Every structure is written in C-alpha cells, then in structure tokens.
Structure 1
Amino acid sequence: MATRSIFKQTYNGYAPPQARPIRPKSHFERIIDRGGDFLIAYWAHIVTTVLGILVGIAIAIPFLSYMGLQSISSPLFYVLHYVCAQIPSHSFYIWGHQLGLCARNFSIYTSMFLGSLIFVLSKKRLPGIPWWLWIIMILPMAWDGTSQMFGLRESDWILRMVTGTLFGLGNIWFALPLMHKSIMETIPPTPMHQQV
C-alpha cells in the first residue's frame, strides 16, 4: 500500500519538480546569470555606446591631426579602415584633415547612433517599422552605391548623405524594436517563490 502511494506521488518513478531538491548555483553560474541579466537590461545602451564611440572617433581624427597629434590620429584612422574604405574624394575635411569615415559611412553611423539614442531615451518604447518600409529606406543607398560601383554614374556628397541617413535610420528603426520584442518574448517569467 505504501509502495503504491509513493509510486503515485512520483509519477511513474519521476519526482515532481517541487519535490526535487534544488542544487545551489556555483559562483561561476551566478556570474554568468548576472552577465546575462546585464546584457538583457542594457543591450540597447551598449549598441548606442559603440556607435557613439565610432562616430566620436571619426570626428576627433581631423581635430587631433590639426593639433599635430598624428601619433594618436593615425592609428585611429587606420582602425576605422576596417569599417570604411575612407576614399579621400568621398570624404569630408575639417581644417584640411580628412574625417575618419567617408560621407556615406559617416551619415550611416551617425544616423544609427542618433536613432539608437532615441530608442534608449524612449525607454525602448519606439515602435518598429514594417519590413516593406525598411526595404524602401535601404533601396536608395543600394541603388546609389551599386550604380556608382559599376561606373554608371558618379554620386555626390548630398546623395551619399541622404541615402546613408535613410539606410542607417531604416536599419535601427527596424532592428532595435524587433530585437527588444524578441528578447521580451523569450525571457521566462520569474517565479515568485520556489518550493523545496
């Protein structure tokens, strides 16, 4: 009789979750949990900070060069070459020194920075745009860049700035709200208390 009762309580040999002892987390697991919680809470702030640093470095380079600090500006300029071709004829100059990013990339990253800053300041409540509007916003740059690459026409700095800004804002306005929604939908609910 007792055996039959225990068998029923353990559901065919498996103890129900509330009956299983909870193993305390190790120090490493607690650090990983805290890191994950931090990333979930501040991922948009991190994106905004990285974009702000990128734009800030691009703007700082000509000022550093003008002040004769080539030992700082040259390595920074070289590092930005990983995200931009830095073609001199496609770039802006301040006091005769080239900006760290070309006009198109500068407008892309600046608009992405400003868009992500607005997203963060709105406490992640900025509504996203539908996919078809996102396509419409990135198509002008695709046309401008592709037609120029194949020598069909030469773009000017105004067109590079406008198409780059549309591209940057479109990507941020589409991606960040979508990422936020996905994160919020995948976070498991926090239990009020755990039974031991």
Structure 2
Amino acid sequence: MAIQPSIYNQQRRAIPPHTIPGRPKSAFERFVDRGGDFLTDYWAHIVMIGLGILVGTAIAIPFLSYFGLDSIAKPLFFSLHYVCAQIPSHSIYIFGHQLGLCERNFSIYTSMFLTSLVFVLSKKRLPGIPWWLWILMILPMAWDGTTQMFGWRESDWILRVITGTLFGVGNIWFALPLMQKSILETTLPPHLQQPLVQKAPTTTARSPQAPQH
C-alpha cells in the first residue's frame, strides 16, 4: 500500500541540501532524523498494529488452551491482566476456555483496532468528530460501569459490548484525526526555517522611463 509522505517531510525534502547551513550531520543524528521521519509517517500504523496484537492475543488464548498449549496460553493470559481484570463471569468463552479479555475490554480494543484500521486505509484522511459527539459516545460506558461498580444495578453482556464498542470507536475516531491534524500543522524546525526566512527580497521590475527632454 503506497503511503503518502507527510507535508512536513515533503517540505523538508524540497529544501536543497546546499541551503542548510552548519556542519554535516553525524551518523547518530541522521539515524534520529530517519526515526523521526518514520514515526511521523507511520505513527497511525504503529497504533493499529499494537491494538491488533492485543486483540489477536486475546483471541488466540482459548484456541491455544483447546489444543493443549497451556505453556503458551497461560503466560499470555496473565500478561493481559495488566490491561483487564479478566473477571470470569464477565468474560467470553471459546471451547470452554476464557478469552484473554473480558466482554467490555474485548469490545473496546476490537472496536479501537477496527477504527484505526479504517483510519490507516483512508490514508489518514478520515475526518474526525467534534468533542461533544465524542463525549456522547463515551458517556454510556461511564454510566454502565459506574452504576455497576457501586452496586446500584447489574449490567449484562449486551450492554457491556455495546457501551464498550461506542467507547472504543469514539476515542479513536476523535483522537487519531486530531493527532494527524496537529502533525500537519506543525511548523518546520528553526534550522530549516532560517534559509527560507533569509531569502533576498524580491524587487519589482519597473518599466523603463522615457528619456527626459
């Protein structure tokens, strides 16, 4: 899939090398510059891949246990405890084995992964949502989780999945376009702006005057 370089990198690469003053960059400085360029262009891909690995690991755990690979499944299951309480009564079971994430967290991270995938496939052009719509999308989960935590009511798997999905989609749909907009609006660093600022002033061509008699 062809990836369009960011406006920042297009502008920086468009500057002729001889216009950048100073000593030649060291190998470490060039490495840091390339790393910055990579993060600027592929930060959304990194977010998407991270979420995909998390969701894929949660799904793989019951299958690994089913095929007798508990030596792999159990460490993976316990590692996911850092992001999920893994309450058995609030979890999904496949072949009698518990998924790595509870119903709510599985719906959150799966919807975040799918929304970030859409964002990447749109070449980071997916328009964001306003802040008030983002608030409306995360409020249902806040209400469902808070009322259940204080024992005012008991949620069910349908509400946990629906509210978790709204929460995940809303966060990614709001955050990723906003981050991309901030990156595109970032100005060039000072050492790259200076050659552009110190250009010789352009003079307006004047029409030749008629000789005076």
Shorter-chain TM-score: which interval?
0.7 to 0.9
1:93 match: secondary structure? strand
1:55 aligns with 2:82: no
What amino acid maps onto 1:77 in structure 2?
A: F
Hey, what does 1:177 align to over in structure 2?
177
Q: CA deviation at 1:188?
A: 1.8
1:144 and 1:20 map into 2 onto residues whose CA distance is 57
* Deviations 1:4-43, CA, capped at 9 Å, x for gaps: xxxxxxxxxxxxxx99952111111000000000000000
C-alpha separation in 2, matches of 1:101 and 1:178: 28
In the other structure, the counterpart of 2:114 is 114
Deviation at 1:100, TM superposition (A): 0.2
- Tell me the residue number matched to 1:167: 167
Q: In the comparison of the two structures, how many residue pairs are matched?
A: 177
Structure-1 residue corresponding to 2:139: 139
For residues 112 and 103 of structure 1, the distance between their equivalents in structure 2, rounded to whole angstroms, comes to 14
CA distance in 2, matches of 1:186, 1:76: 39
* In 1, Cα distance between equivalents of 2:155 and 2:183: 39
Instruction: Classify 1:37/1:21 alpha carbon distance in 2 versus 1 (closer, same or farther; 3 Å).
Output: closer
TM-score by length of 2: 0.79
Partner of 1:5: none
What one-letter code is carried by the residue in structure 2 that aligns with 1:142? A
| Partner residue in 1 for 2:93 | 93
RMSD: 2.1
Which one-letter code corresponds to 1:87 in the other structure? I
The yes-or-no answer on 1:70 pairing with 2:90 is no
Partners in 2 of 1:70 and 1:31 — Cα distance? 41
Q: Which amino acid aligns with 1:75?
A: P
Give deviations 1:143-179, integer Å, cap 9, x for gaps.
Answer: 0000000000000000000000000000000000000
Distance 1:30-1:157 versus aligned 2 partners, 3 A rule: same
State TM-score, norm by structure 1: 0.86
Unaligned runs of 5+ in 2: 1-17, 199-213
Q: Aligned equivalents of 2:47 and 2:21: distance in 1?
A: 40
SS of 2:100's partner is strand
Alignment match, 1:22: 22
Distance 1:20 1:115, change over 3 A: closer
Aligned to 1:15: none
Q: Are the structure 2 counterparts of residues 19 and 63 from structure 1 closer, same or farther at C-alpha, using a change threshold of 3 Å?
A: closer
Summarize deviations over 1:92-132 as a string: whole Å, max 9, x none: 00000000000000000000000000000000110000000
Structure 1 residues 30, 44: closer, same or farther in 2, change over 3 A?
same
Q: Which residue in 1 is equivalent to 2:35?
A: 35
Matched, 1:125 2:130: no
How far apart, in 2, do the equivalents of 1:155 and 1:19 lie?
64
Q: Deviation of residue 187 (structure 1)?
A: 4.6
